Structure 1
Amino acid sequence: MNVAEAAHRLGKTVVADGGIRYSGDIVKALAAGGDVVMIGSLFAGTEESPGEAVIYKGRSFKSYRGMGSLGAMKGGCSKDRYFQEGTTEDKLVPEGIEGMVPHKGPISGVIYQMVGGIRAGMGYVGAPTLERLHEDSHFVQVTAASMKESHPHDVVITKEAPNYRAE
């Protein structure tokens, strides 16, 4: 958060990148001083995302390839991003994975849920604007047990919610 304050004093934009899994993570990244948040992996699995749709164990999935994956680097679309241009394929060092993610349907539904979650998070802080979110947010450290307790537990989820997936 000190970095964000220093960057803003210099007129720089702070880009939060990595670890975003839920809309609450977006709110935290913005509250910590981020001006924008990179959320590419949250769009994985939408109809509009690249990747082949497959059925696995009776459920619909889409293939996923992170930009730092070996496949993306070999495909020529990200070697330079990871400072590995000119590196032969057998010497590439991947920083991402390839796999599959649950099919999520149209991106519009994912965005709708994210925006709703961001609004809720800003409401918890009492912040009607991003500027107020930056100014009015306070962070507290929680234990792993507290984090576990804050998520659904001691129940088998029988109907998936569009904005939450048990992991």
Structure 2
Amino acid sequence: SVMIGSLVAGTEESPGETIIFNGRKFKSYRGMGSLEAMENGSKDRYFQGGEIDVKKLVPEGIAARVPYKGTLYEVIYQLSGGLRAGMGYCGAANIEKLHNAKFVRITNAGVMESHPHDVTITSESPNYSRSE
């Protein structure tokens, strides 16, 4: 199994309310260890009956909002396209050959240099996100 909650959070299919904040679309997101999730689900999850004493809950996660990403299909399509491109760069025709590919580490400066810089992006790409 894999933990990919943050990868699919923000998709149309993910649970949570779609909200507009400062003119941008977001989905509400909460981890199972958040206070809100514990308040709503701990009775069922931990077989507790009756009222929950919120003061006795010890949250281990948060509730937040994440940028809306579109449909899960669109997200997976971009991921698989990136995988195909990476396999092409490595000369790997299939997953088995990818296991034998040589990976090279680059410095943080190299990562920054390999991304767009010193420009203002005027047309956003679905597979490229930037911190604001």
Deviations 1:65-91 (A, max 9, x none): 1234333344336xx8xxx999x7535
Question: TM-score, normalising length from structure 1?
Answer: 0.63
**C-alpha separation in 2, matches of 1:42 and 1:132:** 26
Distance 1:93 1:157, change over 3 A: same
**C-alpha separation in 1, matches of 2:86 and 2:31:** 28
Aligned residues of 2:38 and 2:59 also touching (Cα < 8 A): no
Partner residue, 2:4: 39
**Structure 1 residue 51 corresponds to structure 2 residue 12:** no
Aligned residues: 124
Q: Write out aligned runs for 1:41-120 (5 A).
A: 41-76=6-41, 89=54, 90-94=56-60, 96-120=61-85
Distance 1:67 1:146, change over 3 A: farther
Q: Match of 2:105, as an amino acid?
A: Q
Q: Write out aligned runs for 1:154-165 (5 A).
A: 154-165=118-129
Partner residue, 2:110: 146
Partner residue, 1:132: 97
Deviations 1:19-78 (A, max 9, x none): xxxxxxxxxxxxxxxxxx54331211111111101111111111111234333344336x
Aligned CA-pair RMSD: 2.5
Question: TM-score, normalising length from structure 2?
Answer: 0.77
Query: Could you list the runs of 5+ residues in structure 2 that have no partner in the other structure?
Result: none
